[in-house]
Amino acid sequence: MNYISNTHHELTPTNPVIETILSRSAAKYYDTSATLSDDQIRDLVRIGTSAPTSFHLQNWRFIAVRTPEAKARLRPIAWNQPAITEAAVTFIIVGRFADASTVPARLAPVVEAGIMPAHLVPEWEAPARSLYDNQPQRQRDEAVRSATFGTAAIIYAARSLGFGSTPMIGFDAEAVHREFGLAEDEIPVMLLTVGPERAGNWPQKPRLPLADVLSFA
Protein backbone atom coordinates (compact mmCIF):
# COMPACT_ATOMS: atom_id res chain seq x y z
CA MET A 1 0.00 0.00 0.00
CA ASN A 2 1.25 3.49 -0.84
CA TYR A 3 1.46 6.15 1.83
CA ILE A 4 1.75 9.92 1.92
CA SER A 5 3.04 12.07 4.75
CA ASN A 6 0.82 14.85 6.09
CA THR A 7 2.00 18.09 7.71
CA HIS A 8 2.68 16.36 11.03
CA HIS A 9 4.66 13.53 9.43
CA GLU A 10 2.22 10.74 10.19
CA LEU A 11 1.83 8.26 7.36
CA THR A 12 -1.62 8.09 5.78
CA PRO A 13 -2.70 5.51 3.17
CA THR A 14 -3.21 7.18 -0.20
CA ASN A 15 -6.45 7.09 -2.10
CA PRO A 16 -8.24 9.80 -4.09
CA VAL A 17 -10.67 10.65 -1.28
CA ILE A 18 -7.95 11.15 1.32
CA GLU A 19 -5.81 13.12 -1.11
CA THR A 20 -8.78 15.39 -1.86
CA ILE A 21 -9.39 16.03 1.83
CA LEU A 22 -5.75 16.67 2.69
CA SER A 23 -5.14 18.98 -0.27
CA ARG A 24 -8.24 21.16 0.17
CA SER A 25 -7.77 24.75 1.30
CA ALA A 26 -9.97 27.82 1.38
CA ALA A 27 -9.86 29.72 -1.89
CA LYS A 28 -9.63 33.50 -1.74
CA TYR A 29 -8.81 34.18 -5.38
CA TYR A 30 -11.06 32.97 -8.19
CA ASP A 31 -10.87 33.10 -11.97
CA THR A 32 -13.40 35.84 -12.62
CA SER A 33 -13.83 34.79 -16.25
CA ALA A 34 -14.87 31.23 -15.34
CA THR A 35 -18.41 29.91 -15.09
CA LEU A 36 -20.07 26.70 -13.99
CA SER A 37 -22.84 25.22 -16.09
CA ASP A 38 -26.27 24.42 -14.72
CA ASP A 39 -25.39 20.74 -14.92
CA GLN A 40 -22.17 21.23 -12.97
CA ILE A 41 -24.06 23.10 -10.26
CA ARG A 42 -26.73 20.39 -10.18
CA ASP A 43 -24.05 17.71 -9.85
CA LEU A 44 -22.44 19.48 -6.89
CA VAL A 45 -25.76 19.80 -5.08
CA ARG A 46 -26.75 16.23 -5.93
CA ILE A 47 -23.52 15.07 -4.30
CA GLY A 48 -24.13 17.40 -1.37
CA THR A 49 -27.54 15.90 -0.75
CA SER A 50 -26.01 12.45 -0.35
CA ALA A 51 -24.71 13.60 3.05
CA PRO A 52 -26.39 12.21 6.18
CA THR A 53 -29.42 13.78 7.83
CA SER A 54 -31.29 12.79 10.97
CA PHE A 55 -34.17 10.40 10.23
CA HIS A 56 -33.58 11.05 6.51
CA LEU A 57 -35.22 14.48 6.94
CA GLN A 58 -33.08 16.10 4.22
CA ASN A 59 -33.84 19.43 5.84
CA TRP A 60 -31.78 21.66 3.61
CA ARG A 61 -32.00 23.83 0.52
CA PHE A 62 -29.34 25.34 -1.74
CA ILE A 63 -29.64 28.65 -3.58
CA ALA A 64 -27.09 28.96 -6.40
CA VAL A 65 -26.26 32.66 -6.76
CA ARG A 66 -24.53 32.88 -10.11
CA THR A 67 -25.99 35.73 -12.21
CA PRO A 68 -24.36 39.18 -11.99
CA GLU A 69 -27.67 40.60 -10.74
CA ALA A 70 -28.03 38.07 -7.93
CA LYS A 71 -24.36 38.44 -6.94
CA ALA A 72 -24.84 42.20 -6.78
CA ARG A 73 -27.75 41.68 -4.39
CA LEU A 74 -25.76 39.33 -2.18
CA ARG A 75 -22.37 41.02 -1.96
CA PRO A 76 -23.43 44.13 0.04
CA ILE A 77 -25.13 41.95 2.67
CA ALA A 78 -22.15 39.57 2.79
CA TRP A 79 -19.63 42.07 4.18
CA ASN A 80 -18.80 43.14 0.61
CA GLN A 81 -16.44 40.17 0.25
CA PRO A 82 -14.94 40.05 -3.28
CA ALA A 83 -15.35 36.27 -3.62
CA ILE A 84 -19.12 36.72 -3.75
CA THR A 85 -18.89 38.30 -7.18
CA GLU A 86 -15.60 36.76 -8.33
CA ALA A 87 -16.42 33.07 -7.79
CA ALA A 88 -18.40 31.26 -10.45
CA VAL A 89 -21.20 30.55 -7.97
CA THR A 90 -22.02 31.28 -4.36
CA PHE A 91 -24.36 28.86 -2.66
CA ILE A 92 -26.60 30.12 0.09
CA ILE A 93 -26.78 27.05 2.29
CA VAL A 94 -30.23 26.95 3.82
CA GLY A 95 -31.13 24.80 6.80
CA ARG A 96 -34.74 23.92 7.49
CA PHE A 97 -35.90 23.40 11.05
CA ALA A 98 -36.30 19.69 11.74
CA ASP A 99 -39.95 18.70 11.25
CA ALA A 100 -40.79 15.15 12.26
CA SER A 101 -44.11 15.28 10.43
CA THR A 102 -42.19 15.04 7.15
CA VAL A 103 -40.69 11.65 8.03
CA PRO A 104 -43.36 9.52 6.23
CA ALA A 105 -42.98 11.55 3.03
CA ARG A 106 -39.19 11.42 3.20
CA LEU A 107 -39.23 7.66 3.73
CA ALA A 108 -41.82 6.88 1.04
CA PRO A 109 -39.18 6.66 -1.75
CA VAL A 110 -37.03 4.50 0.54
CA VAL A 111 -39.92 2.06 0.97
CA GLU A 112 -40.72 2.18 -2.75
CA ALA A 113 -37.08 1.35 -3.55
CA GLY A 114 -37.32 -1.75 -1.41
CA ILE A 115 -34.75 -0.53 1.08
CA MET A 116 -37.06 -0.19 4.09
CA PRO A 117 -40.17 -2.20 4.97
CA ALA A 118 -43.25 0.03 5.22
CA HIS A 119 -44.00 -1.12 8.76
CA LEU A 120 -40.81 0.55 10.01
CA VAL A 121 -41.91 4.05 9.01
CA PRO A 122 -43.95 4.69 12.19
CA GLU A 123 -41.03 3.35 14.20
CA TRP A 124 -38.91 6.15 12.74
CA GLU A 125 -41.54 8.86 13.00
CA ALA A 126 -42.33 8.30 16.69
CA PRO A 127 -38.80 8.89 18.02
CA ALA A 128 -38.35 11.79 15.60
CA ARG A 129 -41.45 13.44 17.05
CA SER A 130 -40.19 12.76 20.56
CA LEU A 131 -36.90 14.39 19.67
CA TYR A 132 -38.09 17.46 17.76
CA ASP A 133 -41.75 18.26 18.46
CA ASN A 134 -42.02 21.42 20.61
CA GLN A 135 -38.23 21.67 20.74
CA PRO A 136 -37.38 24.83 18.73
CA GLN A 137 -33.71 24.93 19.73
CA ARG A 138 -33.22 21.29 18.79
CA GLN A 139 -35.04 21.87 15.49
CA ARG A 140 -32.70 24.77 14.74
CA ASP A 141 -29.62 22.82 15.79
CA GLU A 142 -30.60 20.05 13.39
CA ALA A 143 -30.99 22.57 10.57
CA VAL A 144 -27.42 23.73 11.15
CA ARG A 145 -26.07 20.18 11.41
CA SER A 146 -27.74 18.97 8.23
CA ALA A 147 -26.74 22.03 6.22
CA THR A 148 -23.15 21.70 7.42
CA PHE A 149 -22.94 18.03 6.38
CA GLY A 150 -24.26 18.94 2.93
CA THR A 151 -21.82 21.83 2.61
CA ALA A 152 -18.85 19.63 3.49
CA ALA A 153 -19.83 17.13 0.80
CA ILE A 154 -19.98 19.92 -1.80
CA ILE A 155 -16.60 21.29 -0.67
CA TYR A 156 -14.84 17.98 -1.21
CA ALA A 157 -16.73 17.22 -4.41
CA ALA A 158 -15.67 20.62 -5.76
CA ARG A 159 -12.06 19.94 -4.83
CA SER A 160 -12.12 16.54 -6.53
CA LEU A 161 -13.37 18.25 -9.72
CA GLY A 162 -10.59 20.84 -9.62
CA PHE A 163 -12.58 23.76 -8.19
CA GLY A 164 -11.78 25.93 -5.22
CA SER A 165 -14.30 26.70 -2.50
CA THR A 166 -14.68 28.72 0.67
CA PRO A 167 -17.37 28.43 3.35
CA MET A 168 -18.25 31.88 4.71
CA ILE A 169 -20.15 33.08 7.78
CA GLY A 170 -19.59 36.80 7.18
CA PHE A 171 -23.04 37.97 6.17
CA ASP A 172 -26.18 39.63 7.53
CA ALA A 173 -28.41 36.64 8.16
CA GLU A 174 -31.61 38.69 8.44
CA ALA A 175 -30.87 40.52 5.20
CA VAL A 176 -30.06 37.30 3.34
CA HIS A 177 -33.23 35.73 4.70
CA ARG A 178 -35.29 38.67 3.48
CA GLU A 179 -33.53 39.34 0.16
CA PHE A 180 -33.61 35.73 -1.02
CA GLY A 181 -37.07 34.81 0.24
CA LEU A 182 -36.34 32.21 2.88
CA ALA A 183 -39.31 30.72 4.70
CA GLU A 184 -40.03 31.24 8.39
CA ASP A 185 -38.71 27.75 9.19
CA GLU A 186 -35.45 28.30 7.29
CA ILE A 187 -32.13 29.88 8.21
CA PRO A 188 -29.10 30.81 6.08
CA VAL A 189 -26.44 28.64 7.71
CA MET A 190 -23.48 29.74 5.61
CA LEU A 191 -22.39 30.84 2.17
CA LEU A 192 -20.15 28.69 -0.02
CA THR A 193 -18.23 30.16 -2.94
CA VAL A 194 -17.16 27.67 -5.62
CA GLY A 195 -15.26 28.03 -8.87
CA PRO A 196 -11.99 27.66 -10.75
CA GLU A 197 -9.15 29.36 -8.89
CA ARG A 198 -6.46 31.78 -9.95
CA ALA A 199 -2.94 32.05 -8.59
CA GLY A 200 -2.26 33.22 -5.07
CA ASN A 201 -4.28 30.87 -2.88
CA TRP A 202 -2.53 29.29 0.08
CA PRO A 203 -2.13 25.54 0.54
CA GLN A 204 -3.88 23.84 3.43
CA LYS A 205 -2.68 25.32 6.72
CA PRO A 206 -1.12 23.04 9.39
CA ARG A 207 -3.58 21.71 11.96
CA LEU A 208 -3.24 21.13 15.69
CA PRO A 209 -1.36 17.97 16.66
CA LEU A 210 -3.55 14.93 17.21
CA ALA A 211 -2.41 14.83 20.85
CA ASP A 212 -4.22 18.15 21.37
CA VAL A 213 -7.55 17.02 19.91
CA LEU A 214 -7.78 13.25 20.32
CA SER A 215 -8.31 11.18 23.42
CA PHE A 216 -9.20 7.53 23.83
CA ALA A 217 -11.77 6.20 26.28
pLDDT digits (tens, 9 = 90+) for 78-133: 999 999 999 999 999 999 999 999 999 999 999 999 999 999 999 999 999 999 99
**Would the pLDDT of 216 be above 90?**
yes
Q: Give CATH for domain 28-198.
A: 3.40.109.10
For 147-196, give the secondary structure using H, E and C: HHHHHHHHHHHHHHCCCEEEEECCCCHHHHHHHCCCCCCEEEEEEEEEEC
For position 14, what pLDDT does the model report? 79
Annotated domain spans of the chain: 28-198
User: What pLDDT, on a 0 to 100 scale, did the predictor assign at position 104?
Assistant: 98
pLDDT in tens, 152-209: 999 999 999 999 999 999 999 999 999 999 999 999 999 999 999 999 999 999 999 9
**Model's pTM, two decimal places?**
0.93
